[in-house]
Structure 1
Amino acid sequence: MGRVPVLRGFILFLLLLAALDPRLPLPGRVVYLLDFSPSARESVFALGESLPRGARYVAFAERAVLLPSPTARRLDLGERTDLRAAFQEALRLRPSRVVLVSDGLFSPVPPPFPLDALYVPPKAHVDLRLVPPPYPFLGETVGVGVVLEAPRPAEARLRVEGPAGPLERRLRVEGRRVLTYAFPLTGEAEVRAVAEGSWGRSEAKARLLPADRARALVLGDPALARYLEAQGFLVEEAFRRPLEADLVAVGLGVLDLPPGAPEALRDYLRRGGGLLFTATPKGLFFGGWDRALPEDLPLKPLGRKGAALVLVLDVSGSMEGEKLAMAVAGALELVRSAAPEDYLGVVLFSSSPRVLFPPRPMTAQGKKEAESLLLSLRAGGGTVLGGAFREALRLLQDVPVERKALLVLSDGIIFDPKEPILALAATAGVEVSALALGPDADAAFLEALAQRGGGRFYRAATPKELPRLFLKEGQEVFQGEGLEGRFPVEALSHPLTEGFAFPPLSVLLPARAEPWAQVVLKSGDRALLALGERGEGRVAALATDLSRSWKGWEGAAPFLGGLARYLAGGQRGLALYAYPEGEGVRAVVLGRLEAPQVLVGGKEVPLVPTGPLRYEAVLREEGVLLSGKLRLPLALPLPGEWTPRDGEGNLKALAEGSGGRLLTLEELPRRATASLPLRPYLLALALLLFLLERFLEGRRRPSEVF
């Protein structure tokens, strides 16, 4: 009957022992993973005799195989390094300890077991790749990237052959070097490259297929037109409606284009078109676009001093009806086109003078009040100019601007003496212009008034011409100023500026960027090139005259072509950019796309929208861009077998992150110990004894009853 307490005590002893988790030492298995990729295999082959015998050996590159000995060699495992295949093969061998022998030139993959590592130096080699532009236009000057990579410094002789003729260089490659082989793409083209040295020979080739040519309407900027033609654009230089080009470039002023052109350009931009404004002598601020399209122009004049203009308007009885209505419409155009630093006033004359409002800054509130007063005008009385003319000059005396001007409008004969008025115009120090409306106007006197006053004389045959002529005079008075000299250019971070070294400018219009626009180029605190998106389209403004700046700079045509294609991207173009990021590439696609994806290895990777008409994805392999019916192969500058890395640091981080360490040759393990966990066996034995105890207790109880 004493066996049950003994069993119970032994069970408790087994449970206590299991809690201590004892282990039985056994002989273990060492597995060596030998890197047979092109960059490491020569060093690993040379190390074969020094590796311990008695272990298991797995060779790997893109595939992994079991080796019979450490001196066995395999050259058929691929040209890249894939740690996953090596780890899977090692797991199949149930190792007690794993040692990775490699140069560390690979993308890190967390091991599923503790890993030790031994670093071997990579082979001296220069790898060569060609990266063509992903979406070249026919006729565009394209650049094929010639990428040389060397994990160790090496000398190389490079020869590139293609449509632009041979390019030969002797160079030293340390890490990565990138050159550009540029040529006009006039049809299907092929580029071949060879790099040679004491380390051996590398070859690469790329084939380019041009896309359709883009269309550009260039108005008033012949220099830009020639640059875009060199980039393969079909260029037209005559304004016509409807606007059907992929890009419209404007170097003319508002008044140099047909009536309604600003509205047509605004609608074109909102529908997805691309607009570019350039600072020719008639364009940008000189052309009044900052006033005609104030909400759509990304640049505004900087440091403008402002000007003052007083309209001296005839409101005699003969002006009643359409004449006065169109004069008011012209005055309203001036109000809308004036900047906050400009002053505008109106003095009326008929039988007597009346100040409608004195010169005031054209702020938002000032414009609102001026418009309200102008809309209240009525006609009546005679045509007496002298008093109103003198009053207008008096009002201008205290206005704090340097440039001051008067514009006199009349449709009839002036009744008061004319010579005093002419003499006053010649000596007042104010720019006086005049506008004769209709056949009954005193044109001879008004022309003489403009000549004496140093201004401009206009004729309007019909009242409908008044708004345009008023705006023309406002453009003359309120225009900005350009600077001449030598202005250094600073490029800000943007895909358009990558790879360009911009020379100084000869001409610069002082400008600032609107809050919604992105500055791409600047000179000091002045914005040179700014761009943005309005509606579904893209707009840019360039504050220099291309006929005088960048003459002789080889990068002008490629840069302006890239800018034009970017702006046209909202309409029909497509721009692709790739930036190395970690072990992959961040692909940025600009253009109108339909749910774009990249097909990589049979899987669809969505491109994430990161802005209007902008999509991004991080890719680790080349693939095909899919968007609607578009299928575009992507050639990306992905890290390769020879991409320079800190191989030793890479191995150390991988080993220590898994619980192992970086070893020296003397520390390589020849054998390993394994341990057999005894806890499961102890628990199983305790369970059996417990069941035996319960059985013995069951037998004892019936015998006690009798």
Structure 2
Amino acid sequence: MLRLLRGAVLLLLVLAFLDPKGSLPGRVVYLLDFSPSAREGVFALAARLPKDGVYVAFAERAATLPSPTARRLDLGEGTDLREAYKEALRHRPSRAVLVSDGLLEPIPPPFPLDALYVPPRPYVAVRLVPPAYPLYGETVGVGVVLEAPAPAEARLRVEGPGGVLERALRVEGRRALVYPFPLTEKARVQAVAEGPWGRSEAAVEVAPADRAKALVLGDAALARYLEAQGFQVEEGFTLPLEADLVAVGAGVLDLPEGAPEALRAFLRQGGGLLFTATPKGLFFGGWDRALPEELPLKPLGREGAALVLVLDVSGSMEGEKLAMAVAGALALVETATPEDRLGVVVFSSGHRVLFPPRPMTEQAKKEARSLLLSLEAGGGTVLGGAFREALRLLKGVPVERKAVLVLTDGLLSDPKEPILSLAAASGVEVSALALGPDADAPFLEELARRGGGRFYRAASPKELPRLFLREGQEVFRGEALEGRFPVEARPHPLTEGFRFPPLSVLLPARAEPWAEVLLTSGGRAVLAVGERGEGRVAALATDLSRSWRGWEGASAFLGGLARWLAGARRALALYAYPEGEGVRLVLLGRLERPLILAGGKEVAPVPVGPLRHEARLKEEGVLLDGKRRLPLPLPLPGEWTPRDGQALLQALAEGSGGRLLSPEALPIGAEAPLPLRPYLLGLALLLFLGERLLEARRSQGTIGERPLG
């Protein structure tokens, strides 16, 4: 008997280890999709559902129903399976049946699930997607997205600051249009779609996220135009250049040292530059010489000028003085054009021609640099011979404007009056530069007066390069034309819709090969634009204080040009492409350290190319970039987003061990699994205790029968 009990205990333990299961009648919970796209189909099927089930209706929220034909229209306009599962679990289902059109986010169920497909009702949903980062005065576009889970006809009407847009169209899946308008204040856009299926509508408000910042240098008229267009306008050159656009109507020498280099770097790194013609700007300002690779316009028909530099290389010039004088002469070489002629005569105890006046071609500039860098100081200070040699060299030069610039740092050893008389009688413009406190400033000032030129005083050698540039700017200058110059516009988005009046002032100019000409006058370029590095640049060959003063369209045109120029740095274009259950977000523009906050998580956009980042999102969020905080209105899947709902439901059901049902397969039964392990272990324990009790009794009987002593 004991062996039999022990064998039964072992057998029960083995069976418990194998964990066999039985079954009991189970509970079926029906999940009824009451979202707007599915509720009509579900209502039509309700009467065919079994009466003994448990019914949970859901949309954005979920609630238990007393019967399959009960209706709830207060559960929201979206579809959230999580809420349906949560409510169903309260009833401890053995199985669930999802009755839906499949226009939802597929979420794996926590229980076995069958699915029953109902077709969505015909409908066209309209949504409006605002621009991500609209600027004041910018022409923005509101995205109009139409979605239909089944093909449908619709009449669309969009109203807003851009007028009324009306279309009759057929929507199959998803269609998108753009409603553009200039943003000058907070705006409201409304859209209505109507058809036999009913009516849908949407509205959105768009407010300027920021105003572009413009730094205007030396052009008060342009500053007023840009202020009228909503730009934050500042005047005065400061480093670093913290602006979206820099407008330059001042000369190179009217700005601090390093300005050309700073402007070049600003442009190449994505900033916008606009050069305008003022009495001190554009060609008069020397920008065609200071930034030759960045300026889209160059002077046209310039006759050129001739300048001979008479340079002191006496012993007192040794060291820093000569080095800075050579630097200034090199600056003169760089600012000269092939139409200009430059020569150098050096003097100390005697004189020699370093190189005669010659057109400053690239080869001539290369030779001039080499000769200037070879200069050495030594000897006395005798000017007369060098001055006469400079005048002699200029006699045969075929240009109208001729000039001599004399530089010395000391007192002359030769008679002064012959030099002064020669300057007065030469017919050549003579200028003079006194370097340091030991120079004969009274004589040099008188020399410049008699020669009809300019007198400069440099307290230290460091001032020489800029003073040489100033003299070169005075000599190598062009001429402006005044009169009435008709303007012709070439096709371009910036010129579309404008009728340009004649100009009062024109600087004859030609466009560089890399530039695009937008405005011309008599074959001469008036406005040219182009791209250099990552930025955009434009040059306007007229003085805005005298041209276009009474033209009403001037502000709008110049504002559009300025926004286009600033766009390379300022604009941030966002594109969203639906992919699966989310979107692929593409960000185009200059971003510092972008970070997206969405659904309580941080998502770092991945750089995939120059000025291009991408991220994948399943929820709307906020883009953080430096001081910018931009909401991301994304076209995430909505209630009416077209999907293959039947295939989605089938995949959802089969993934949980269920199947896609047909209405004829209803009702279905359910079995609740019954675990047998606890019962087997309990029976094994009882048999084990019984076996131990029986063995104990047998042991007591054996002791009682043992014989004594």
Asked if Structure 1 and Structure 2 have the same fold, meaning a TM-score greater than 0.5 normalized by the shorter chain, the answer is yes
**Alignment map for 1:392-471 (pairs within 5 Å):** 412-414=387-389, 418=393, 422-423=395-396, 435-437=404-406, 461-462=455-456, 465-470=467-472
Deviations 1:130-179 (A, max 9, x none): 33346655554443333322222222212223334333222222333333
Residue 87 of structure 1: CA displacement?
0.9
**Relative to 1, partners in 2 of residues 1:382 and 1:254: Cα closer, same or farther, differing over 3 Å?**
farther
Tell me how far apart the structure 2 counterparts of residues 158 and 555 of structure 1 sit (CA, whole Å).
32
- Does the 8 Å CA contact 1:329/1:467 hold for their aligned counterparts? no
Tell me how far apart the structure 2 counterparts of residues 443 and 253 of structure 1 sit (CA, whole Å).
35
- Does the 8 Å CA contact 1:326/1:463 hold for their aligned counterparts? no
Residue 110 of structure 1: CA displacement?
2.5
- Does the 8 Å CA contact 2:102/2:649 hold for their aligned counterparts? yes
Question: Which one-letter code corresponds to 2:405 in the other structure?
Answer: A
Name the structure 2 match of 1:64.
62
- Asked if 1:643 corresponds to 2:641, the answer is yes
**Relative to 1, partners in 2 of residues 1:695 and 1:186: Cα closer, same or farther, differing over 3 Å?**
same
Residue 681 of structure 1: CA displacement?
1.8
Q: Higher mean Cα deviation, 617-626 or 46-55? A: 617-626
Residue 106 of structure 1: CA displacement?
1.8
Tell me how far apart the structure 2 counterparts of residues 256 and 56 of structure 1 sit (CA, whole Å).
84
Residue 9 of structure 1: CA displacement?
0.6
Name the structure 2 match of 1:392.
none
TM-score normalised by the chain length of structure 2 = 0.64
Residue 292 of structure 1: CA displacement?
5.8
Tell me how far apart the structure 1 counterparts of residues 680 and 90 of structure 2 sit (CA, whole Å).
28
- Asked if 1:352 corresponds to 2:352, the answer is yes
Deviations 1:300-333 (A, max 9, x none): 99xxxxxxxx997544568965985653232354
- Does the 8 Å CA contact 2:34/2:73 hold for their aligned counterparts? yes
Name the structure 2 match of 1:21.
19
Q: Higher mean Cα deviation, 60-69 or 222-231? A: 222-231
**Relative to 1, partners in 2 of residues 1:360 and 1:624: Cα closer, same or farther, differing over 3 Å?**
closer
Question: Which one-letter code corresponds to 1:541 in the other structure?
Answer: R
- Does the 8 Å CA contact 1:437/1:462 hold for their aligned counterparts? no
**Relative to 1, partners in 2 of residues 1:39 and 1:288: Cα closer, same or farther, differing over 3 Å?**
farther
TM-score normalised by the chain length of structure 1 = 0.64
Q: 1:45 aligns with which of 43, 46, 50?
A: 43
- Does the 8 Å CA contact 2:331/2:468 hold for their aligned counterparts? no
Question: Which one-letter code corresponds to 2:255 in the other structure?
Answer: P
Task: Identify unmatched segments of 5+ residues in structure 2.
Answer: 297-305, 408-418, 431-450, 459-466, 479-487, 497-509, 516-528, 543-552
Residue 473 of structure 1: CA displacement?
8.9
Tell me how far apart the structure 2 counterparts of residues 286 and 173 of structure 1 sit (CA, whole Å).
60
Residue 254 of structure 1: CA displacement?
7.9
**Relative to 1, partners in 2 of residues 1:352 and 1:152: Cα closer, same or farther, differing over 3 Å?**
same
- Asked if 1:541 corresponds to 2:536, the answer is yes
Name the structure 2 match of 1:495.
none
Deviations 1:55-113 (A, max 9, x none): 33322101112234433332221100010011112222222322222222222322223
- Does the 8 Å CA contact 2:237/2:255 hold for their aligned counterparts? no
Residue 249 of structure 1: CA displacement?
3.2
Tell me how far apart the structure 1 counterparts of residues 612 and 182 of structure 2 sit (CA, whole Å).
27
Name the structure 2 match of 1:182.
180
Q: Could you say what the CA RMSD is over the residues aligned between the two structures, in angstroms?
A: 6.1
User: In the comparison of the two structures, how many residue pairs are matched?
Assistant: 596
**Relative to 1, partners in 2 of residues 1:31 and 1:227: Cα closer, same or farther, differing over 3 Å?**
farther
Tell me how far apart the structure 2 counterparts of residues 376 and 317 of structure 1 sit (CA, whole Å).
7
Tell me how far apart the structure 2 counterparts of residues 565 and 107 of structure 1 sit (CA, whole Å).
38
- Does the 8 Å CA contact 1:578/1:588 hold for their aligned counterparts? yes
Tell me how far apart the structure 1 counterparts of residues 665 and 452 of structure 2 sit (CA, whole Å).
97
- Does the 8 Å CA contact 2:619/2:636 hold for their aligned counterparts? yes
Tell me how far apart the structure 1 counterparts of residues 591 and 475 of structure 2 sit (CA, whole Å).
41
Q: Give the secondary structure class of the aligned counterpart of 1:33.
A: strand
- Asked if 1:258 corresponds to 2:233, the answer is no
Question: Which one-letter code corresponds to 2:373 in the other structure?
Answer: L
Deviations 1:497-551 (A, max 9, x none): xxxx9xxxxx985569xxxxxxxxxxxxxx954676xxxxxxx23478799xxx9
Q: Higher mean Cα deviation, 691-700 or 159-168? A: 691-700
**Alignment map for 1:252-401 (pairs within 5 Å):** 252=248, 255-256=251-252, 258-260=254-256, 262-263=258-259, 266=262, 275-278=271-274, 314-316=310-312, 321=317, 327-333=325-331, 349-350=346-347, 351-353=351-353, 373=373
Name the structure 2 match of 1:247.
243
Q: Give the secondary structure class of the aligned counterpart of 1:177.
A: strand
Q: Higher mean Cα deviation, 685-694 or 310-319? A: 310-319
Deviations 1:378-399 (A, max 9, x none): 67576799xxxxxxxxxxxxxx
Q: Give the secondary structure class of the aligned counterpart of 1:413.
A: helix
Question: Which one-letter code corresponds to 1:277 in the other structure?
Answer: L
- Does the 8 Å CA contact 2:429/2:453 hold for their aligned counterparts? no
Residue 695 of structure 1: CA displacement?
3.9
**Relative to 1, partners in 2 of residues 1:212 and 1:542: Cα closer, same or farther, differing over 3 Å?**
closer
- Does the 8 Å CA contact 2:60/2:79 hold for their aligned counterparts? yes
**Alignment map for 1:72-83 (pairs within 5 Å):** 72-83=70-81
- Does the 8 Å CA contact 2:95/2:113 hold for their aligned counterparts? yes
Tell me how far apart the structure 2 counterparts of residues 458 and 620 of structure 1 sit (CA, whole Å).
76
Question: Which one-letter code corresponds to 1:26 in the other structure?
Answer: L
**Relative to 1, partners in 2 of residues 1:123 and 1:686: Cα closer, same or farther, differing over 3 Å?**
same
Residue 700 of structure 1: CA displacement?
3.9
Q: Give the secondary structure class of the aligned counterpart of 2:673.
A: strand
**Relative to 1, partners in 2 of residues 1:65 and 1:222: Cα closer, same or farther, differing over 3 Å?**
same
Q: Higher mean Cα deviation, 161-170 or 623-632? A: 623-632
Name the structure 1 match of 2:84.
86
- Asked if 1:157 corresponds to 2:155, the answer is yes
Residue 8 of structure 1: CA displacement?
0.9
Q: Give the secondary structure class of the aligned counterpart of 1:266.
A: helix
**Relative to 1, partners in 2 of residues 1:100 and 1:277: Cα closer, same or farther, differing over 3 Å?**
same
**Alignment map for 1:649-664 (pairs within 5 Å):** 649-664=647-662
Tell me how far apart the structure 2 counterparts of residues 581 and 285 of structure 1 sit (CA, whole Å).
52
- Does the 8 Å CA contact 1:227/1:560 hold for their aligned counterparts? no
Name the structure 2 match of 1:405.
none
Identity among equivalent pairs (%):
51
Name the structure 2 match of 1:122.
120
Name the structure 2 match of 1:579.
576
**Relative to 1, partners in 2 of residues 1:121 and 1:447: Cα closer, same or farther, differing over 3 Å?**
farther
Question: Which one-letter code corresponds to 2:37 in the other structure?
Answer: S
**Relative to 1, partners in 2 of residues 1:700 and 1:346: Cα closer, same or farther, differing over 3 Å?**
farther
Tell me how far apart the structure 2 counterparts of residues 226 and 173 of structure 1 sit (CA, whole Å).
48
Name the structure 1 match of 2:692.
694
Question: Which one-letter code corresponds to 2:254 in the other structure?
Answer: P
**Relative to 1, partners in 2 of residues 1:292 and 1:13: Cα closer, same or farther, differing over 3 Å?**
farther
Tell me how far apart the structure 1 counterparts of residues 16 and 400 of structure 2 sit (CA, whole Å).
107
Tell me how far apart the structure 1 counterparts of residues 85 and 272 of structure 2 sit (CA, whole Å).
56
**Relative to 1, partners in 2 of residues 1:4 and 1:265: Cα closer, same or farther, differing over 3 Å?**
same
Deviations 1:551-591 (A, max 9, x none): 99x9996796376377469xxxxx68463565456597999
- Does the 8 Å CA contact 2:216/2:236 hold for their aligned counterparts? no
- Does the 8 Å CA contact 1:219/1:249 hold for their aligned counterparts? no
Q: Give the secondary structure class of the aligned counterpart of 2:201.
A: strand
**Alignment map for 1:569-608 (pairs within 5 Å):** 577=574, 579=576, 582=579, 583-584=581-582, 586=585
- Does the 8 Å CA contact 1:255/1:468 hold for their aligned counterparts? no
Deviations 1:613-668 (A, max 9, x none): 99998765567889999998765544321223333343334334434344444455
Q: 2:141 aligns with which of 135, 140, 143?
A: 143
Tell me how far apart the structure 2 counterparts of residues 685 and 336 of structure 1 sit (CA, whole Å).
106
- Asked if 1:561 corresponds to 2:557, the answer is no
Name the structure 2 match of 1:516.
none
**Relative to 1, partners in 2 of residues 1:380 and 1:646: Cα closer, same or farther, differing over 3 Å?**
farther
- Does the 8 Å CA contact 1:434/1:446 hold for their aligned counterparts? no
- Does the 8 Å CA contact 1:228/1:561 hold for their aligned counterparts? no
Question: Which one-letter code corresponds to 1:352 in the other structure?
Answer: R
Question: Which one-letter code corresponds to 1:249 in the other structure?
Answer: L
Residue 702 of structure 1: CA displacement?
4.8
Q: Give the secondary structure class of the aligned counterpart of 2:254.
A: coil
